[in-house]
Structure 1
Amino acid sequence: MGAVSSPCFVIFPFMAHGHTIPLLYLVRLLRRRGISVAVFTTPANAPSIRSFLKDDDIKSTSIIELPFPNKPIDGVPPGVENTHDLPSISSFFEFVNVTTLMRPDFENALEGLHPVGCIISDAFLGWTQETAAKLGVPRYFFFGMSGFATTVHRVLERDRPHAHTSSLDEPFGFPDFPGLELTRNHFEPPFNELQPSGPQVDFILQLGVTMVKSQGLIVNSFYELETRYLEYWNNNIGPKAWCVGPLCLAAKPPPTSENQPWIQWLDHNSPVLYVAFGTQAEISAEQLKEIAEGLERSGVKFLWVIRPKMMKHLEEGFEERVKDRGLMVKVWANQNEILMHKSVTGFLSHCGWNSVMESVCAKVPILALPFMAEQHLNARFVAAEECGVGLRVMPRGGSVRGFVEAEEVEKMVRELMDGSRGAEVRKRVEEVGEAAAEAMRHGGSSWVGLGGLIEDASGGKEALPIVAITQ
């Protein structure tokens, strides 16, 4: 008879870089705790995941490929298996819905993984809850958002504190969170409408049903950063939120012998403002020109990681004019590595939550310029006193949403890099960054949280010894 296999933790990320990378960090942490892990993905996404998980300490992790459905998606070329490659973000929800067709292959593959201990899947893969129930194992979902954004979204939907506002920019409060004021413009359309409706709303409502049935929510944050929102979630909403982050602290430093040209540039330039707006946001040509003009006029040194297709929207001659103090990087770059570089002292960011966590852990203050999804909420949290690790670039007219002019970019870049408010948030991010590191250390709140999650998923039992799983 062969040795008895330990329960396998199944990890199923959504096919988007920002959703996948945090869960791969979680894989690394689980393996360090002696947990057998199988990661599910599609053929086009598998190579990057294998590359990410090639470290010796996790070499026995299984990576199981499922065929991506061949159902046509309007406006999307065949073969696209990651949201990064979508021609337009307008196809996002149809892309998500197509993943439901993966369920039969997923369940067939699980039959070879006895025993499955639990399923940890992205919230967008809500259909995996039905599979978990069928197997009789717990399912935990990963939203990728902050505890703050997740909680206020749910409270807005449930309690409707915005119901009597007459405009998108009229402030309203939250009785359960004294001192918190938001506007409807902090929320993405159509969820900022008084009576939201449409396919996006229907989709989120469907996800809500799967979330309620799930065993728990995995949060890429730490308890000390978002205490009152996490406690409120656990006491008044649920299912239980498990803080296990910042997950980016599970990253391994890249070999110095493999430094990229932009790292070599940083070695000889300081101080530098890092500029990046993620892989999803669709930024208009007019807005990009204003950002570029503001950076040029600010006089600061900057490194801008930009998607190649966006370069055509910049004013002709821009790159040549700033070449002595600005570097344009048009390929994928390791953001964590850039932020950790000693020369980087500020981050002009879209405020995706992964970017916020990476910036905090690198102790680099943020200049928030949000565009979509929950980024406006993150920007508010970052620049508010309760977090205080950044400043906010404001659109013209005083709204939190709208067109940002070059003068505002110039002014706020200078303030972050050289002003008194910049000095204040730089001091604050040092404190928060140290708290984040402490949470992930042995005995810290996130270290304990991960142990509690493992015990919960194991039915209150200690984790069993490592057993490699092959497929």
Structure 2
Amino acid sequence: MPNGSSILENGTKGGADVGVVVVMLPLPAQGHLNQFLHLSRLIAAHGIPVHYAGAATHIRQATHRVHGWDPLAVPNLHFHHLSMPHFQSPPPNPDASTKFPTQLMPVFFATSHLRRPFNALIRNLSVDQKRVVVISDSLMGWVVQDVPSLQNAELYRFRCISAFTTYSFHWERTGKPDVGPEAAGVLNHMPSPEGCFIPEFEEFIKMQRPFWDASSGDLLNSCREIEALFIDLIGKESKTGFQWAIGPLNPVSLTDSINTNRHKSLEWLDRQEKDSVLFVSFGSTTSLSNEQITELGAGLEESGQKFIWVVRDGDRGDVFDDGEAARRAEVPEGYEERVRGRGVVVREWAPQLEILGHPSVGGFMSHCGWNSCMESISMGVPIAAWPMHSDQPRNATLITEVLKMGISLVDWARRNERVGRREIGEGVKKLIASAEGEEMRRRAAELSQSLKEPIAVGGGGRNELESFVAHITR
């Protein structure tokens, strides 16, 4: 990571005064859209105009689902709707042998058509700017391949997964080179990559890699308080020598939340004891079978613990298109009546960050997507890890084996088996109502505090963000 004091601290008012604009280009999947939107807020706060680009439906998705702040109220944040051809997005298949969201592949491949309108946007912005800074998703390389050809444009790659997971895949791909005993101790016991991806997505990833040779540096949604060792290992592999670990991007404190219409689940949480409630949510891409939903519900019920359970199917490429074939995931008939007073079932998009930040929440049953992991760490909530696909199994290893703030609810080697109610119930009790769970809560609280303290004084990931801002406004 390059060193350098912030231009803002040295008296410059921000990028607008030095002719710098930033353009964001996320992959159109919820976890990516969300991280880019949070990063847009942080950079815009430095007085730099930020242009968030994508198809209209995905911009609507990002702004509709964000919690804790209003993206339409940020003066320096602008949205650009890029034209993209219609794509057929099938409904998710809850009974598929793999949990990877195959229904999103049509929209991923359709992003190739964004190259021309995105390049037109960049060229238009570059006319009256000293510098156009493009921050692109690592999986959108083919869209931004023309950026380095512009004389006053710079391209930066943003990685939306953990440094630990990023390096682990690189380490395997490069023949498992020597990394020292500390890193090798965990890397040699990683979950198998089998079942993480489908061949079509692996091919999609390979198609993006050649376009990053001309990038000016990398950004990570992480920080040294969480995974310094693996951030450094990635940095050693950098071709540019420029890397900034600028996370966490999500708000780490909700005291300044602008939401006035509180979700019903938060009102219910207000009436519960501290650390007594389990939050259950598997993110935006997971669809459970009817049989697994039944077992999960029974496990929660039999655990005797309080819970909030988000029951919904994974996203389609267009989350606003219900379609005739859309399935509505449901709990068994009579379930909500049986758990009334002890459990809350939520079927719509839930304010996850605010729920995790509530003092009554003492645990999180999660798929371990990186957004969810970062939000849980930020709010000091331990995790019962139930990974489904992609980076999630390795994020789960980071949570349970490296950070030691969670339990493994599901063995990845048994990923194709239905998880029984007994396993689920015992895991819930272990996390919420045992001495071991209390120790995990203590560890999670320490990690949360380690993030908040440096941010409060401008250090940690925020210090690296200041360094990045100084770099692009140099």
TM-score category of the 2 structures, normalised to the smaller one: 0.7 to 0.9
The one-character-per-residue Cα deviations of 1:19-73 (angstroms, maximum 9, x if unpaired) are 1111111111112222121111222233455565746872232211111223x44
- Give 1:162-173 correspondences, 5 Å limit: none
Structure 1 distance, partners of 2:190, 2:395, is 14
Stretches of structure 1 that go unaligned for 5 or more consecutive residues are 78-86, 162-172, 192-196, 462-471
Pair 1:152–1:174, CA change in 2 (3 A): farther
- Which residue pairs with 1:298 in the alignment? 303
Shift of 1:421: 1.2
Q: Percent identity?
A: 28
Pair 1:181–1:142, CA change in 2 (3 A): closer
Please, which of 263, 267, 270 is the counterpart of residue 266 of structure 2? 263
Shift of 1:285: 2.4
- Which residue pairs with 1:273 in the alignment? 278
Structure 2 distance, partners of 1:359, 1:12, is 25
Shift of 1:179: 1.4
Given the alignment of the two structures, is residue 189 of structure 1 paired with residue 191 of structure 2, yes or no? no
Specify the SS of the correspondent of 1:39.
Answer: strand
Q: Contact conserved, 1:289 with 1:313, CA < 8 A, in 2? A: no
Higher mean displacement: 308-317 or 440-449: 308-317
- Which residue pairs with 2:221 in the alignment? 220
The one of the two structures with greater contact order (alpha-carbon pairs below 8 A, sep at least 6) is: 2
Given the alignment of the two structures, is residue 449 of structure 1 paired with residue 464 of structure 2, yes or no? yes
The one-character-per-residue Cα deviations of 1:179-207 (angstroms, maximum 9, x if unpaired) are 1155574425376xxxxx94433322222
Structure 2 distance, partners of 1:238, 1:408, is 46
Q: Contact conserved, 2:100 with 2:390, CA < 8 A, in 1? A: no
Structure 2 distance, partners of 1:357, 1:365, is 11
Specify the SS of the correspondent of 1:288.
Answer: helix
Shift of 1:175: 6.7
Specify the SS of the correspondent of 2:418.
Answer: coil
Q: What letter corresponds to residue 218 of structure 2 in structure 1? A: L
Shift of 1:16: 1.9
- Which residue pairs with 1:307 in the alignment? 312
Q: Contact conserved, 1:298 with 1:414, CA < 8 A, in 2? A: yes
Please, which of 406, 428, 441 is the counterpart of residue 426 of structure 1? 441
Structure 2 distance, partners of 1:416, 1:225, is 21
Q: Contact conserved, 1:295 with 1:409, CA < 8 A, in 2? A: yes
TM-score (ref. length: structure 1): 0.83
Q: What letter corresponds to residue 298 of structure 2 in structure 1? A: E
- Which residue pairs with 2:244 in the alignment? 242
Q: Contact conserved, 2:142 with 2:211, CA < 8 A, in 1? A: yes
Specify the SS of the correspondent of 2:184.
Answer: coil
Structure 1 distance, partners of 2:351, 2:423, is 28
Given the alignment of the two structures, is residue 68 of structure 1 paired with residue 68 of structure 2, yes or no? no
- Give 1:318-329 correspondences, 5 Å limit: 318-329=335-346
Higher mean displacement: 47-56 or 278-287: 47-56
TM-score (ref. length: structure 2): 0.83
Higher mean displacement: 236-245 or 274-283: 236-245
Pair 1:406–1:312, CA change in 2 (3 A): same
Q: Contact conserved, 2:311 with 2:330, CA < 8 A, in 1? A: no
Specify the SS of the correspondent of 2:251.
Answer: helix
Q: What letter corresponds to residue 167 of structure 2 in structure 1? A: T
Shift of 1:380: 0.9
- Give 1:131-146 correspondences, 5 Å limit: 131-136=146-151, 137-146=153-162
Q: Contact conserved, 1:129 with 1:213, CA < 8 A, in 2? A: no
- Which residue pairs with 1:94 in the alignment? 106
Pair 1:256–1:217, CA change in 2 (3 A): closer
Q: Contact conserved, 2:91 with 2:327, CA < 8 A, in 1? A: no
Specify the SS of the correspondent of 1:435.
Answer: helix
> Aligned pair count?
430
Structure 2 distance, partners of 1:67, 1:311, is 30
Please, which of 39, 45, 61 is the counterpart of residue 52 of structure 2? 39
Higher mean displacement: 174-183 or 101-110: 174-183
Structure 2 distance, partners of 1:230, 1:209, is 22
Pair 1:283–1:237, CA change in 2 (3 A): farther
Q: Contact conserved, 2:28 with 2:107, CA < 8 A, in 1? A: no
Specify the SS of the correspondent of 1:138.
Answer: strand
Specify the SS of the correspondent of 1:69.
Answer: coil
Pair 1:45–1:430, CA change in 2 (3 A): same
Please, which of 117, 120, 125 is the counterpart of residue 135 of structure 2? 120
Structure 1 distance, partners of 2:453, 2:347, is 35
The one-character-per-residue Cα deviations of 1:289-348 (angstroms, maximum 9, x if unpaired) are 221111010000000112167764533322221122100011112111111111111111
Specify the SS of the correspondent of 2:124.
Answer: coil
Given the alignment of the two structures, is residue 20 of structure 1 paired with residue 33 of structure 2, yes or no? yes
Q: What letter corresponds to residue 291 of structure 1 in structure 2? A: L
Structure 1 distance, partners of 2:453, 2:416, is 35
Please, which of 129, 152, 155 is the counterpart of residue 168 of structure 2? 152
Q: What letter corresponds to residue 251 of structure 2 in structure 1? A: L
Structure 1 distance, partners of 2:57, 2:73, is 24
Structure 2 distance, partners of 1:190, 1:447, is 32
Stretches of structure 2 that go unaligned for 5 or more consecutive residues are 1-15, 93-98, 314-325
Shift of 1:237: 4.7
Higher mean displacement: 243-252 or 354-363: 243-252
